[in-house]
């Protein structure tokens, strides 16, 4: 498995694969890989001849007060995980490689990005769309893999691919969790032992919401209430949002009819964690 630092190296490698008629899958990540990322790589390896994993902590998607500087990084460990999972190439550019000094073009979206995480992180999805569009242009994959963990991101990327006619299949992959239910996240490393315990309230509250949905509850407010109460019972937790939205439009719903996304963002101490369930 190779590690490429430059766009040119990636282009040359992909050109070589294309000459041989091979298909290419892309797994975009910010690194510090865990089982959640590995599940995306596994899926990509199963569906493509060659797999590229990008490892890039994208400055453009972090707000000025967010954790860009402290975001965990460990390329050696990431490379070992990618190699063991059967990836063929890691693309690990420096920020200067992706954003030259006079960089001034962005991919922005008028729908889907205003609510949920977009409310607290107003520039986030512009950064995500721009970097993913760049990665798509550099790697030109047949398929790209995104986790349902970041459900709004998955919806946004699908919409961007449709709007901008990228000829790329977007594959969504289920949330991978720790044994006790906490959704795996690179940011879980920020949690103290006490906070790690408190963080369980995210998946537990969603479990209560899911039980209501399973029992046929159609009142979205009721579901939000139960989840909110559960989270508020944990002293270390502070709610950013608890939302029930249409899974296609990401608009809030009052009555559960079609596919619904129940999404939450919760601060545990200083760490902001997200989790969700989707009812198709």
Per rule CB under 6 A, is residue 176 in the interface with ligand AMP?
Answer: yes
Residues in contact with ligand AMP, shown as a per-residue x/- string from 24 to 53 under the rule CB under 6 A:
-----xx-----xx-xx-------------
Per rule CB under 6 A, is residue 62 in the interface with ligand AMP?
Answer: no
Which of 62, 147, 188, 245 is in the footprint of ligand AMP by CB under 6 A? 147
Which of 91, 146, 166, 247 is in the footprint of ligand AMP by CB under 6 A? 146
Residues in contact with ligand AMP, shown as a per-residue x/- string from 184 to 223 under the rule CB under 6 A:
xxx-------------------------------------
Judge whether 124 counts as a catalytic residue: no
3-state secondary structure the chain: CEEECCHHHHHHHHHHHHHCCCCEEEEEECCCCCHHHHHHHHHHHHHCCEEEEEECCCHHHCCCCCCCCCCCCCHHHHHHHHHHHCCCEEECCCHHHHCCCCCCCCCCCCCCCCCCHHHHCCCHHHHHHHHHHHHHHHHCCCEEEEEHHHHHHHHHHHHHHHHCCCCCEEEEECCCECCCCCECCHHHHHCCHHHHHHCHHHHHHHHHHHHHHHCCCCEHHHHHHHHHHHHHCCCCEEEEEEEEEECCCCCECCECCCCEEEEEEEEECCEEEEEEEEEC
Minimum separation from the CB atom of position 174 to ligand AMP (A): 7
CA angle at 269 for the pair 266 and 272, rounded to the nearest 5°:
35
What does residue 265 show for φ and ψ, rounded to 5 degrees? -130, 130
Minimum separation from the CB atom of position 205 to ligand AMP (A): 17
Minimum separation from the CB atom of position 31 to ligand AMP (A): 6
Nearer to ligand AMP, 220 or 274 (CB): 274
Minimum separation from the CB atom of position 93 to ligand AMP (A): 15
**Which span (11-19, 46-54, 168-176, 194-202) binds ligand AMP, by CB under 6 A?**
168-176
Per rule CB under 6 A, is residue 175 in the interface with ligand AMP?
Answer: yes
Nearer to ligand AMP, 184 or 224 (CB): 184
Minimum separation from the CB atom of position 78 to ligand AMP (A): 10
Which of 38, 50, 92, 149 is in the footprint of ligand AMP by CB under 6 A? 149
Which residues of the chain form contacts with ligand AMP (CB under 6 A)? 29-30, 36-37, 39-40, 146-147, 149-150, 173, 175-176, 183-186
Q: Among all residues, which ones are annotated catalytic?
A: 37
């Amino acid at each position: 498995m190779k590690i490429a630092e430059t766009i040119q190296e990636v282009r040359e490698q992909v050109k070589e694969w294309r000459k041989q008629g091979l298909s290419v899958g892309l797994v975009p990540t910010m690194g510090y890989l865990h089982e959640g990322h590995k599940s995306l790589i596994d899926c990509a390896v199963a569906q493509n001849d060659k797999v590229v994993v990008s490892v890039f902590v994208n400055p453009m998607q972090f707000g000025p007060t967010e954790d860009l500087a402290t975001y965990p990084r460990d390329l050696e460990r990431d490379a070992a995980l990618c190699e063991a999972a059967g990836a063929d190439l890691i693309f690990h550019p420096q920020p200067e490689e992706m954003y030259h000094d006079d960089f001034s073009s962005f991919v922005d979206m008028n729908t889907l990005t205003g609510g949920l995480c977009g409310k607290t992180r107003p520039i986030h999805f512009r950064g995500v769309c721009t970097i993913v569009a760049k990665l798509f242009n550099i790697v030109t994959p047949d398929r790209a893999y995104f986790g349902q963990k970041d459900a709004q991101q998955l919806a946004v990327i699908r919409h961007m691919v449709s709007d901008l006619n990228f000829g790329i299949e977007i594959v969504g992959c289920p949330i991978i969790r720790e044994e006790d239910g906490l959704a795996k996240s690179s940011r879980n490393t920020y949690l103290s032992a006490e906070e790690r315990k408190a963080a369980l309230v995210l998946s537990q509250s969603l479990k209560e919401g899911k039980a209501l949905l399973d029992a046929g509850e159609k009142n979205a407010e009721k579901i939000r209430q139960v989840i909110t109460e559960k989270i508020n019972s944990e002293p270390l937790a502070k709610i950013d949002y608890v939302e029930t939205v249409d899974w296609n439009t990401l608009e809030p719903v009052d009555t559960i009819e079609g596919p619904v996304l129940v999404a939450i963002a919760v601060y545990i101490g200083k760490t902001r964690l997200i989790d969700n369930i989707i009812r198709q």
